[in-house]
Structures are given as C-alpha cells and as structure tokens.
C-alpha cells in the first residue's frame, strides 16, 4: 500500500486534492472522560469556580475543529459549514464510574474529508474538561476517541455501529 503523505523520494507531502470533486462531507467522532463523583456533581450543579465546564468544552470543541489544519501537519484547511456538539452524562452505579461523552459532528463542502476536524474537536473539548476540573480530580481518564461515521467523498461512507 502506498502512503499518500510520502512522495517518491520518501519525503512528507500534503496530498494534492486539486483534481477531486467537491462534495458534501460529514464526520461524527466521540470520546469520553471518566471523572470522580465529586467532579461529576460539580459539573451537574455548575459549581466549578472556573465557570460553566460543559459550555466551555463545547466552545473549545468548535474552536478545535476550526483549528485542525494548524495542529495536524498534513491536514488541508477546510471551510467548515457546521460544527455541532452533543454531551451525554453517564453513571455506572455498579462500578461507580462517572463520565461525560462528547460527540462532535463536522460538516463541509470540500474536496477532502472532515474526519480530523471532528476528532480534533472531541480531543480539545475533552482536554478542556480536564483543564477545568484538574484542581478537583487529577485521576481523570480521557478515552475512546473514535470516528463514529463519515459520509461523502471517493472512499464512501463509514459507520462504526
């Protein structure tokens, strides 16, 4: 298999998408952060001194999606038409695990996909939650960052579940 980001001289290159057709592209990614019950309760009760954790994480996720090409070396800058975030609170009372699942949907009309924008958004959003709660809980774990689905483009659709 030929790697697309390596040229014939084995040097890194940005993929040439100039001959590809513009199409509607959508990607959904998600990830999770496990936190202590104390931190979870503080989020739910909006009692974190740094401010509204979830609102801040959503804004950070949107900003992270928009800045992807500045963070990932070979990503093309994309004209995002929409970034939407969804937050789910999870409690497993048997194992006493409290977590927040962040999903990011990124959409654009472009010649290349938006998977990295959705994944970057999730990562930055979860890191923001960590940053805002680190004084309360240093044992937090960020996990399961993954592409859930994508549509559009030459490689076709993908659905994890």
Distance, first Cα to last Cα, the chain:
27
For 121, half-sphere exposure in the C-beta direction (CA atoms, 13 angstrom radius) is 31
Residues 84, 69: Cα–Cα separation, whole Å: 18
**Which of 89, 104, 87, 94 is CA-nearest to residue 35?**
89
Tokens for 42, please give them: 């503080």
Q: What is the 3-state secondary structure (H, E, C) of 7-53?
A: CCCCCECCCCCCCCCCEEEEEEEEEEEEECHHHHHHHHCCCCCCCCH
| Tens-digit pLDDT string for the chain (161 aa) | 667 778 888 888 888 888 888 999 999 999 999 999 999 999 999 999 899 999 999 999 999 999 999 999 989 999 999 999 999 999 998 888 999 999 999 999 999 989 999 999 999 999 999 999 999 999 999 999 999 999 998 888 999 98
For the beta carbon of residue 102, count every other beta carbon within 10 angstroms. 28
The reply to whether 131 belongs to the active site is yes
* Active-site hit among 92, 94, 131, 157: 131
- What domains lie within the chain, and their CATH numbers? 36-151 (3.30.70.640)
Position 135 scores a pLDDT of: 95
| Phi, psi of 119, deg, nearest 5 | -65, -40
pLDDT at residue 1, as a whole number: 66
Q: Note if the pTM is more than 0.95.
A: no
At 70 the three-state DSSP class reads: helix
| CA distances (Å), origin 98, targets 23, 37, 42, 123, 140 | 39, 6, 12, 18, 10
Q: Torsions phi, psi of 56, nearest 5?
A: -65, -40
């Amino acid at each position: 298999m030929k790697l697309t980001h390596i040229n014939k001289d084995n040097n890194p290159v940005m993929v040439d998408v100039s001959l590809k057709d513009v199409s509607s592209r959508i990607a959904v990614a998600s990830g999770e952060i496990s936190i202590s019950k104390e931190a979870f309760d503080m989020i739910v009760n909006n009692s974190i001194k740094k401010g509204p954790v979830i609102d801040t994480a959503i804004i950070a996720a949107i900003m992270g999606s928009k800045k992807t090409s500045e963070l990932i070396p070979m990503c093309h800058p994309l004209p995002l038409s929409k970034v939407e975030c969804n937050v789910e609170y999870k409690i497993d009372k048997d194992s006493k695990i409290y977590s927040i699942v962040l999903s990011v949907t990124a959409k654009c009309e472009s010649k290349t996909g938006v998977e990295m924008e959705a994944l970057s958004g999730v990562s930055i959003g979860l890191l923001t939650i960590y940053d805002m709660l680190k004084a309360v809980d240093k044992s937090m774990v960020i996990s399961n960052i993954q592409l859930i689905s994508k549509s559009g483009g030459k490689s076709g659709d993908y659905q994890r579940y």
